[in-house]
């Protein structure tokens, strides 16, 4: 875990919640955000303890299998959190095929 000294104290728990929910549902949090709006069938997942369903949580796969997830928080907006998560995954992409 890395945290910029200017990132708020809530960001580690937020990032962890994003990674946890992405791994649990095997779906990136941006996609979960879209399908779990109030009134939708999957809306209940927003009430799970520790669940953070906004952009920045992405699954990590190797050879088609889920091996983990990454969560990013602290950028100015969930789109930026998503971009940071994608950049991190792209940086290690060649190391994931084991």
pLDDT of residue 5: 85
Count of residues for the chain?
A: 98
pLDDT along the chain (98 residues), means of 10: 85 95 96 95 93 95 92 91 94 83
pLDDT of residue 31: 96
5-40 as b/e: b if 16+ CB within 10 A: eeeeeebbebbbbbbbbbbbbebbbbbbbeebeeee
CB 81 within 8 A of CB 59: no
Residues 27, 31, 36, 39, CA torsion sign: negative
Taking phi over 0 as left and psi of -120 to 50 as alpha, with beta for the rest, 47 belongs to alpha
Total-model pTM: 0.89
pLDDT of residue 79: 93
């Amino acid at each position: 875990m890395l945290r910029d000294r200017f990132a708020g104290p809530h960001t580690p728990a937020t990032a962890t919640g994003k990674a946890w929910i992405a791994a649990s549902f095997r779906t990136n949090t941006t996609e979960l955000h879209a399908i779990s709006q109030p009134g939708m069938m999957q809306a209940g997942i927003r009430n799970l303890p520790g669940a953070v369903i906004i952009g920045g949580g992405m699954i990590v796969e190797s050879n088609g299998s889920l091996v983990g997830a990454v969560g990013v928080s602290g950028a100015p907006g969930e789109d930026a959190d998503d971009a940071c998560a994608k950049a991190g995954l792209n940086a290690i992409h060649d190391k994931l095929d084991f």
